[in-house]
Amino acid sequence: MLRITVQPEPDRIRLKLEGDLSGIWVTEVEESWLATYSIRGDRPLYLDLTDVMHVDRAGRYLLGLMRCGGAHLIASGAQMTELVRTIKDKWPGPETPT
């Protein structure tokens, strides 16, 4: 199960995921990402993974594509932080602002 919340903010759009990014939910996140891109304008997209428990292979691939597309990945916890670090190392994309 996965909850997807789009949170428009004045200076960014946050796509918050809660649960497991796996199976059919990967397609749901991809559709949400594409829909969000159509409304974001000049605002950067931040993908909040702080409440994601598990990411399967297809989910990792989608996160890499999203990073290549300019999404900033936000994570917490050892497992998700390592996943984001790995994606940043292997997939080209913009640097996350500090």
State the chain's mean pLDDT as an integer.
91
pLDDT band at 98 (very low <50, low <70, confident <90, very high): very low
Q: Do 67 and 73 meet the contact criterion of CB atoms below 8 Å apart?
A: yes
CB 68 within 8 A of CB 91: yes
Q: pTM for the complete prediction?
A: 0.88
Residue 39 has a pLDDT of 84
The mean per-residue pLDDT over the stretch 7-25 comes to: 95
Please check whether residue 22 lies inside any domain of the structure: yes
pLDDT reading at 4 higher than 60 = yes
Number of domains in the chain: 1
**Does residue 64 lie within any of the structural domains?**
yes
Query: Which residue's entry shows tokens 């297809």?
Result: 58
What is the per-residue pLDDT across 34-80, written as a single tens digit (0 to 9) for each?
Answer: 998 888 888 999 999 999 999 999 999 999 999 998 899 999 989 99
User: Residue 49: which CATH number?
Assistant: 3.30.750.24
Q: Is residue 95 part of a domain?
A: no
Domain assignment of residue 96, yes or no: no
d(CA 46, CA 71): 6
In this structure, what are the phi and psi dihedrals at residue 77, rounded to the nearest 5 degrees?
A: 80, 155
Q: Does 31 map to a domain? A: yes
